[in-house]
Amino acid sequence: MRLEILGSAAGGGFPQWNCNCENCRDMRAGTFSGTARTQTQLAVSYDSRSWFLLNASPDLRLQIESSSFLHPREGQRHSPIAGVLVTGADVDQVAGLLTLREFQPFQIYCTPSVACILRRDNSIFRVLNRISNQVSWTEIKAEQSFPLLDSQGNESGIRATLFDLGGHYPDYIGPDRAKTLRPEEAQVGVILQSSQRTIAYLPTISALNHELLQQLKSADLFFFDGTFWSDDELRRVKGSGPTAREMGHVPVSGPEGSLQMLAGLRHPRKVYIHINNTNPMLNESGPEYRRVRDAGWEIAADGMRFEI
C-alpha cells in the first residue's frame, strides 16, 4: 500500500486563520522552527491508480491540486479518487465532500449514523446526488470488514474495517439528536489491510484500552491522535476552555498520555497526526518535539509518503 499525507493539522490548520498564539504568531513572522500544515487528510492506494481518501478536509481542493497523483488523467472529466472513508461527522472530516460535487462518480463509506447526519439532517449534502450514478453511499457497521472498490466496482486490493474510538458526535447536531444515534458510531478508526500488511488510522481518540492496544500491536504502521500535547493545553494558551479529554482527545504527554501508554509498542511505525496549532511539539527546536522523536515517534507533516 502507498499512503500520502495531504494534510496533518487539526481543524483550522496551522497557522489557524484567527489565532494569535505563540506558534501561529511565530509562523507568520517567519521565525518558527517548523512547517505550516493544512487540515488532516490522507490518501491511500494499492496500485497508485485508484485512490481512497480518509475523510474529506475543508482544504481538500488545495490538497488535490498540490498532489499530481490525484489529478485527472484522461478525457475531459476524470478523477483517480474512487472513494472516501468518513470516520465522523465533524466539519473538518466532511466539509471537503462538497468540493467533490462536480458530477464525478465515487463511493462514500461511513457508519449508518454518520450517513443519517449527512444525508437526512443536512440538505446541503444532497448536492452530491443531483443526478443518478453520481455518488454512492455504503453504510458500514463497526467491526465489519469490507473491500474498497475502484471506479469500475472491482476490489481495489485493500480491505477496511471500522472500529469504535469512543468519541462524541459534533455539537452542531444537538444533544437531543445525538441521543437517537448509536454512540459507537460517533467516531471510528480505520484498519486498512492488503497483502498481509496493516495500517491503522486513529485521528481522534478519547481513551486507550487493552483491546485497542492489541489492535495497534498487529499494525505495520499507525497514525494516532496528536491533537494536544497536554490535557490543559487550551487553558494554558487561552486562559480558559475545555481539556483535551473533554474534547475527546487523549493528550500526548502526562501519566496517562499516549506517549507513555504506547511506549511498549516497538514494532509498528508510529506517527502522530491531527496536530492542533497550539501544540508545542510542532516546534522542531523545542523539547517536546525532541522528546517525541527520541521516543521513536514521527510527527506527520504535509507531503509525507509511506509505502508498506
| The C-alpha cell that represents 214 in the structure block | 492489541
Q: What CATH number does residue 6 fall under?
A: 3.60.15.10
Number of domains in the chain: 1
Do the Cβ atoms of 213 and 272 come closer than 8 Å? no
With 0-12 / 13-18 / 19 or more C-beta atoms within 10 angstroms meaning exposed / middle / buried, residue 195 is exposed
The pTM assigned to this predicted structure is 0.97
Closest CA to 142 of 182, 109, 111, 107: 111
- For every one of its 308 residues, what pLDDT tens digit does the chain have, with 9 covering 90 and above? 999 999 999 999 999 999 999 999 999 999 999 999 999 999 999 999 999 999 999 999 999 999 999 999 988 999 999 999 999 999 999 999 999 999 999 999 999 999 999 999 999 999 999 999 899 999 999 999 999 999 999 999 999 999 999 999 999 999 999 999 999 999 999 999 998 999 999 999 999 988 888 889 999 999 999 999 999 999 999 888 899 999 999 999 999 999 999 999 988 899 999 999 999 999 999 999 999 999 999 999 999 999 99
Domain that holds residue 258: 2-307
